[in-house]
Amino acid sequence: MEKNKSFYRDKAKKIMKCINFISRHYEEKKPEEEQLIEDLKKAQREWKMKEEYFQWATDPDLIEHAIYELKASKIKYIYFLKKAKELGIK
């Protein structure tokens, strides 16, 4: 009888390990609208940071880099803004 208890206890532990492993790989994803809003906010923060970086750049090479980064972040923000408008998010 004792052998049966340990057998089932071991099986239960293995099953729980499998469940934990599977659940980590299949976490619920956020709805598309929620994810888009987060991406939009992140892109806006990034754009603001790039503007500050541009304001502080003094070396000609760094200024050129800052301009490139600023344009790229602006394009990214506009992209997410358009996607939000397409989905009717205000």
pLDDT digits (tens, 9 = 90+) for 7-40: 777 777 777 777 777 777 666 666 888 899 999 9
In terms of Cα–Cα distance, which of 33, 25, 11, 24 is closest to 83? 33
Confidence of residue 46 (pLDDT cuts 50, 70, 90): very high
Rounded to whole angstroms, how far apart are CA atoms 7 and 53?
Answer: 63
Question: Contact, 32 vs 87, CB < 8 A?
Answer: yes
Q: Is the pTM of this model over 0.75?
A: no
CA dist 9 and 16 (Å) reads 11
Q: Is the pLDDT of residue 57 over 80?
A: yes
- Give the N- to C-terminal CA distance of the chain in Å, as an integer: 65
Q: What whole-number distance in Å separates Cα of residue 15 and Cα of residue 28?
A: 21
